[in-house]
Amino acid sequence: MFLDPPYASGLLAPCLDRLAAGGWLARPRCVYIEARESELPPLPAGWQLARSKTAGQVGYHLARIRPDEELS
């Protein structure tokens, strides 16, 4: 899954929450996130940040759902 909502839109956290609750991700259940460096919200429960880097003001991140966590 690729998420790159408009910066400062406030959409990233609700998108992550809906992905976590919706059961729409297939294994290996990875989400690539681009956001302004300071806009990465806390990840949903059971998610972990696998990689995170920045380029200027842009942060790019790879989040994974831990294999032992099940989606609803």
All structural domains of the chain with their residue ranges: 2-65
Task: Calculate the CA 19 to chain-centre distance.
Answer: 9
Residue 35 tokens read as 């956001």
pLDDT of residue 66: 75
pLDDT at residue 21 in the model: 87
Rounded to 5 degrees, what are φ and ψ at 16?
-60, -40
Tell me 47's DSSP state. Answer: E
* Residues in the chain, total: 72
Whole-Å CA distances, 33 to 8, 10, 13, 21, 24: 14, 14, 11, 17, 16
- pLDDT of amino acid 23: 78
Task: Give tens-digit pLDDT for 10-62.
Answer: 999 999 999 888 878 877 789 999 998 888 899 998 899 999 999 998 999 99
